[in-house]
Amino acid sequence: MLELALTGGAITKGIIMGLIYGSVIGSVAIGLTIIWGVMKVVNLAHGHIVVFAAMMSAFLYLTYKGALLFTPPIAFIWIGLLGAAFGVFFYYTTLHPVIGHVDTMTLKYEMSSLMATFGFGIALYGIHYILPNYVHSYSVNPSIGYSIGAAGHTYIVFLGVVIMKSTVLMSVLGFLLTLVAYWLMNKTSMGLKIRAVAQDARALSLVGINPVKVKVMTAVLATALAMASGVLFLGYSTSVYPDIESTVSPLCFVIVVLGGLGSVLGTYFGGLFLGVMYWLTLELTGQQSIALAVAFAILLIAMVLKPDGVFSGIERKLSFRAKRG
Amino acid sequence: MSILLGVENLVSGYGETEVLHGVSLKVERGTITTLLGSNGVGKTTTLWTISGILKAWSGKIKFNDEEVTMLPAHHRAEKGLILVPEGRRLWPQLTVYENLYLASFTRRAREKFEENLEKVFNLFPRLKERLNQQAGTLSGGEQQMLAIARGLVSNPEILMMDEPSLGLAPKLVQDIGRVIKRLRDEEGLTVLLVEQSVQMAVSIGDYGYVMENGRIVLEGAIDELMENSKFKQAYLGM
Amino acid sequence: MVSVFRRPGFIISTIIVLFFLVLGYLGNINAISRMYVSNGTDLMYYIGIGLAMAIIMSYAGYVSFGQAVFVGIGSFSTGYVLVLMNRSNIISYLAKIGSGGRISNTMLAVYFTESLLLAITISVFIAVVVGYAVLRLRGAFFAISTIGLDYVVMYLVKYITKTRSPFGGEELLNPSMGLTDMTFYWMHFILFIITIYVAYFVKISKFGYGLAAIREDEDAAEIMGVNTFRYKIYAFALSGILASFWGIAEAFRKSYSIGYFKLDKSIIMLVENVVGGIGSFIGPIIGSIIYYLLEWSFLTTVGQWTLVILGATVVVVVAFFPEGIVGLLKKRFPRLRKWLE
């Protein structure tokens, strides 16, 4: 039977490790909250895009033997920018034929977008298997991402918990990525257009804004964030393989629902919450499968009790005050 | 006076159904031109085709001596051909300010944003109080004000309004009519007005067109129309 | 009113059933024909899961990512019956008859029935308890909540197999029972007959019309006196039971593995319905056949490119035939309309 290791040490460790993990996985979900929550595209390709970026950056990192350019703290920036270009490709191949000329996203279009992105996702997944020099999984040096200005140990001890410095760095970068996304969505005119396009695309054209351009921008932003966060995910987990998508993708959906669709900060907090719950369960039971079962049970409960998202209020409060200024 | 908007033999419709069978009309600069007719005769279709939401099947739309028939809707809006659509079509989850701000992104609107905003608050002081409220939570009348305000912030050369009084209380209908009149008199704004409240339309309009079954059947200065007994009987019940 | 047995849907189902019957009898001739038997087994599985999904998705209009949980439960039930219950009698029986023997049909039937009963019990339990909560949600929210359902059950089952499996992993290997491909074919065939007729009779029953009303406009259906919530739970449970059948069938053939719970199983079911066309009975069947043929022909011709091409195909179908194959056929050939119920 399950044995609970209910000690203070386990709880401290669960919370600390959970916050670090949550910060990374929260940032991974942000691309999804933008494209699903704002543009109402149920993007089943999100996890595949994240993993694709992680695989790519691991491949480059290993091929170039850890050259500075390919370490996660640097790579996440330029792979994110590459993701912007990839977003254009994603939009025009997959989304445009389905939602390009749709004024208001109804359930029918949501479902079509779901199917189309599913197709794109498995195609992207398939690419891993046709690349030359294919390997089933990559494992990178655990100190990946910590090769900048690193000195001494690769880990620190905090409150009796041993923490890899690289994971801390990744969670900080995850937080920064979230802030950038928040700023873009709530403080720039681009973000405003993106929030408007899902509600009524035709009204945008009536005030002189090309709605298709805004839809492209949304896809670009979401894809860029997904690919950048994929690099952070690699830096955190240090190993990656195509099938990890089947864990990443559902977790992202859980987090977005917890955080409230379209709310960037809410999603990030949803990630933190989920990370802590996951690590606490893991520490208390020692069973990864139980920890994941708990994560998804949280989703079920949250969806039934608070379908608007548990953490969506955070952003509403913040952005309301911000807009006044 | 010069012609700002000229439509010649416009044919258009939805899918395979032809709704407009050759509509021609002219709007003079600085006037209020009204398009009248009962429900389902193609008034909204006319405005949608002029604004570019619907493609014209044939015919010509000239705006400011420039042919715009093939331009997409957002390019026409950039040129100052602005539609305040039926049913308002606001962004309900954005605030009032955001709704207005979004209308100021074209080059012609950006330069005059502050000025236009001031003007709009003058016309509708209520909107200023509700600047940070979500548009979806406004009352029907306030939403209509916001829709007109959004049109004005776009800095229109011509403002086309589709049923601005739909669903509003009689008092509000008069208010809206007064605002439109004021815009013409003080700002010299050109308006193409589609209105089911014929009383209001004839009280402020300069020139009128009457549509039936996708065609213009009667036109003339409002004074002349008022002398026409057939018109009076059909639309004013006099 | 046309007799049920002369309606197009019934005739088409019967033709398909007869096709598999004939294939089964012709199958056991030589190596090549046995290859087709194996294909036929796969095809029945694909149509089966497509129809299981159809009850909740095509009929009631609810998109579920979680129907794989029922496939997983079915296959786990079989794994439980054959492996976790420590059936020493299988081993001793086989030891007695020596190599090359097979367990008797009676024993097989007992295990098969036990699996069915276990799977049905668990499926109904989950469908009713979870459905009671999540069927209040609509659209994408319902869809996502079913991902949660799938993964909760999947990870719990993973924990059970990890701690109790004699193999210590995520799989439960069936004991060798000396069964041939033909045995599996007929097991699939039994479940196929049940699935296709249940799916059809649901479609034309009062219950089916209630579901159609929910699909078209749930609020209106409720006002018109359809007990929408109860109907949705019934549909969810029935869809789950049928899906679990196919987990059982596949687990007898290939042993239980965690893969049956994976999201891609649900998504295959979903794609079959969308490609075929939502709202009909024939649609999911056509969709399943096309999906199977595409996957099979890609696997044999383009090998590693399969997933890439399959994905691209889905994108193209969604973009250009949003109403699915049935919608396309109805538009192009109005005369076929009555056959596409």
Angle (CA) B44-B46-B49 rounded to 5° is 110
In the CATH scheme, what is the code of domain C4-339? Answer: 1.10.3470
**Nearest chain A CA: its distance from C68 CA (Å):** 13
pLDDT of amino acid C87: 67
pLDDT of amino acid A5: 65
What subunits make at least 3 CB pairs under 8 angstroms with B? A
What subunits make at least 3 CB pairs under 8 angstroms with C? A
User: Between residues C184 and A300, which one has the greater pLDDT?
Assistant: C184
pLDDT of amino acid B152: 92
pLDDT of amino acid A83: 93
Contacts of C320 in chain A (CB under 8 A): 97
Domain ranges, ordered by start, for chain C: 4-339
Cβ of residue A234 closer than 8 Å to a chain C Cβ: no
Specify whether the CB–CB gap between A92 and C315 falls below 8 A: no
Q: How much is the average pLDDT of C32-47?
A: 88
The residue written with tokens 């197999």 in the block is C161
Specify whether the CB–CB gap between C289 and C196 falls below 8 A: no
Residue B73 reports pLDDT greater than 50: yes
Q: Which two tokens stand for residue B78?
A: 């950039």
Give the distance, in angstroms, between the CA of residue B147 and the centroid of all CA atoms in the same chain: 11
Burial annotation C213-245 (CB, 10 A radius, 16+ → b, else e): bbbeebeebeeeebebeebbbbbbbbbbbbbbb
What DSSP line would sit under C52-116, residue for residue? HHHIIIIIT----S-THHHHHHHHHHHHIIIIIT--HHHHHHHHHH-TT----HHHHHHHHHHHH
User: Between residues B97 and A143, which one has the greater pLDDT?
Assistant: B97
Cβ of residue A193 closer than 8 Å to a chain B Cβ: yes
User: pLDDT tens digit string along A42-69?
Assistant: 898 999 999 999 988 888 888 887 677 7
- Which of B48, B53, B74 to mutate against chain A (most A CBs within 10 Å)? B74
**Nearest chain A CA: its distance from C313 CA (Å):** 7
CA atoms in the 13 A half-sphere facing the CB of C206: 3
Contacts of B101 in chain A (CB under 8 A): 189, 192
CB contact under 8 A, C314 and A122: yes
Q: Which two tokens stand for residue B96?
A: 């009032």
Specify whether the CB–CB gap between A21 and A163 falls below 8 A: no
Question: By three-state DSSP, how is residue B54 classified?
Answer: coil
- Which of C308, C310, C316 to mutate against chain A (most A CBs within 10 Å)? C308
**Nearest chain A CA: its distance from C139 CA (Å):** 6
Within 8 A by CB and 6+ apart from C132, the residues are C233
Within 8 A by CB and 6+ apart from A303, the residues are A257, C134, C137, C141, C144, C145, C148
Contacts of C308 in chain A (CB under 8 A): 123, 126-127, 130
What superfamily does domain B1-80+190-238 belong to in CATH?
Answer: P-loop containing nucleotide triphosphate hydrolases (3.40.50.300)
Residue A8 and residue A14: Cα distance in Å, rounded?
A: 10
Residue A319 reports pLDDT greater than 60: no
Burial of A176 (0-12, 13-18, 19+ CB in 10 A): middle
**Nearest chain A CA: its distance from C94 CA (Å):** 33
The interface predicted TM-score of the complex, written ipTM, equals 0.88
Question: By three-state DSSP, how is residue B195 classified?
Answer: coil
pLDDT classification of A325: cutoffs 50, 70, 90: very low
Question: What proportion of chain C, given as a percentage, has pLDDT over 70?
Answer: 94
- Centre a 10 Å sphere on the Cβ of residue A284 and count the other Cβ atoms it contains: 20
Q: What stretches of chain B adopt beta strand conformation (E)?
A: 3-14, 17-28, 32-36, 58-63, 66-67, 81-84, 158-162, 190-194, 207-212, 215-221
Question: By three-state DSSP, how is residue C257 classified?
Answer: strand
Contacts of C316 in chain A (CB under 8 A): 119
CB contact under 8 A, C263 and A296: no
Cβ of residue C134 closer than 8 Å to a chain A Cβ: yes
CB contact under 8 A, B102 and A204: yes
pLDDT of amino acid A135: 63
Domain ranges, ordered by start, for chain B: 1-80+190-238
Contacts of C315 in chain A (CB under 8 A): 93-94, 97, 116, 119-120, 123
Q: Which of A110, A250, A303 sits opposite C134 (nearest CB)?
A: A303
Q: Which two tokens stand for residue A122?
A: 């498995």
Residue C227 and residue C268: Cα distance in Å, rounded?
A: 30
Contacts of B81 in chain A (CB under 8 A): none
Which domains, and CATH codes, for chain A?
8-135+162-324 (1.10.3470)
Q: Which of C155, C264, C314 sits opposite A115 (nearest CB)?
A: C314
CB contact under 8 A, B102 and A205: no
Residue C1 reports pLDDT greater than 60: no
User: pLDDT tens digit string along A273-307?
Assistant: 999 989 988 888 878 888 888 888 887 888 778 76
Residue C122 reports pLDDT greater than 70: yes
User: A166: alpha, beta or left, given left = phi > 0 and alpha = psi -120 to 50?
Assistant: alpha
User: pLDDT tens digit string along A131-156?
Assistant: 766 666 777 765 555 444 444 456 77
**Nearest chain A CA: its distance from B159 CA (Å):** 11
CA atoms in the 13 A half-sphere facing the CB of A146: 23
